[in-house]
Structure 1
Amino acid sequence: MKNLFLFLFLFAGATLMAQEGVTMKRSTVLKIEEVPPTWPGCTGSINQKSNCLRQKLATHVVKNMKFSNDHKSGSRVIVDMVISKEGKPVINKITGGTSGMQVAVRDAVMTIPTLKPGHMGGTKKESKLELPFQF
């Protein structure tokens, strides 16, 4: 009877507390994957969410970019940023291109909607992103 109670307790606890990105294989290996930030409307597996985020983010930035007067064709601008635990973008560094292009990219990135923040094992965490833009 004791073993049955213990089995039911462990089984119920495992099913009630299942979280995205946490899997158990062969009852000895626990795998915890980082779940990326999620763009509003993106669903599916972790890989699908990651791909959707990159696609939606690139589309959003291009759509909302206001090109500067010093725009140079063939330039590359790289944005080093994180999505905070609150789902907001925080830009750490922008390199490449002209200063006007960097400002235009920064302004476009800062207009992204609030995202569902990334998490690992149910705990929210900052997610680092590096976004290259070729003009």
Structure 2
Amino acid sequence: MKKLLVLLFLTFTATTFAQDGVSVNGGTMVIKDIAPVWPGCDGSIAKKKACFKQKLAQHIGKNFRFPEGYTPGSVKEKVVVSFVINEKGAPEILEVKGGTAALQNEAKRNILSIPHMTPGQANGKPKAIKYKVPFTF
């Protein structure tokens, strides 16, 4: 009986202190990355992730400015920006591919103007989370 009570206590304690993004399946522990949280997003992990995607798309559309000499529809180019939201919740550019230098600079400026947010996590610790965003002109 005493062993059963200890086992129940340990099971209850383990589930009480479990971290988001950590699950145990059989003898395997899986640690999932938790996405950064955009300011104003709340709810479950899935809701925060969906909110992040929506807010990012809105941010890009609202803050994009065509460089001098370009107008909507004047070019048929694609710029792809790879970036992370770092451990402090700020965007950092990793790589920019495609398009002209002017379009690349505007895409970088747009991404770097993303607001500061709660950083992503893995195993309860801040972690840089990678993203890749295509800008199609």
**TM-score category (smaller protein):** 0.7 to 0.9
1: CA distance, partners of 2:46 / 2:102? 34
* Equivalences for residues 60-75 of structure 1 within 5 A: 60-71=59-70, 72-75=74-77
Please, what TM-score do these two structures have when normalized by structure 2? Answer: 0.82
1:70·1:100 contact (CA, 8 Å) conserved in 2?
no
Aligned-residue offset at 1:48: 3.9
Q: Aligned partners of 2:119, 2:9: CA distance in 1, in Å?
A: 31
Q: Match of 2:99, SS? A: coil
- Please give the alpha-carbon distance, in whole angstroms, between the structure 2 residues aligned to 1:129 and 1:59: 16
Q: Is the deviation greater in 40-49 or in 98-107? A: 40-49
Partner of 1:30, secondary structure, is strand
How much does 1:52 deviate? 2.6
- Report if aligned partners of 1:70, 1:98 keep a CA contact under 8 Å in 2: no
Question: Residue 126 of structure 1 corresponds to which residue in structure 2?
Answer: 128
Cα deviation for residue 47 of structure 1 reads 4.2
Q: State how far apart, in whole Å, the 1-side matches of 2:44 and 2:99 are.
A: 35
Equivalent residue number for residue 85 of structure 1:
87
TM-score (normalizing by structure 1): 0.83
Q: Aligned letter for 1:6?
A: V
Work out the CA distance in 1 between the residues paired with 2:53 and 2:101.
24
| RMSD over equivalenced CA pairs, Å | 2.1
State the Cα deviation string for residues 73-94 of structure 1 (Å, max 9, x = none).
3211100111100110000111
Instruction: Give me the whole-angstrom Cα distance separating, in 2, the residues matched to 1:17 and 1:54.
Output: 29
2:50 corresponds to 1:51: yes
Q: How far apart are the structure 2 equivalents of 1:114 and 1:24?
A: 32
Indicate the residue corresponding to 2:104 in structure 1. Answer: 102
* Matched residue count: 134
Which deviates more from structure 2 when the two are superposed, residues 87-96 or residues 50-59? 50-59
Any gaps of 5 or more consecutive residues in structure 1?
none
SS at match of 2:135: strand
The amino acid of 2:54's aligned partner reads Q
Could you tell me whether the CA contact under 8 Å between 1:84 and 1:125 is conserved in 2?
Answer: yes
Q: Distance in 2 between matches of 1:100 and 1:2?
A: 72
Residue 14 of structure 1 aligns with which residue?
14
- Deviation string for 1:82-110 (max 9, x for gaps)? 11001100001111121111111111111
Unaligned segments of structure 2, at least 5 residues = none
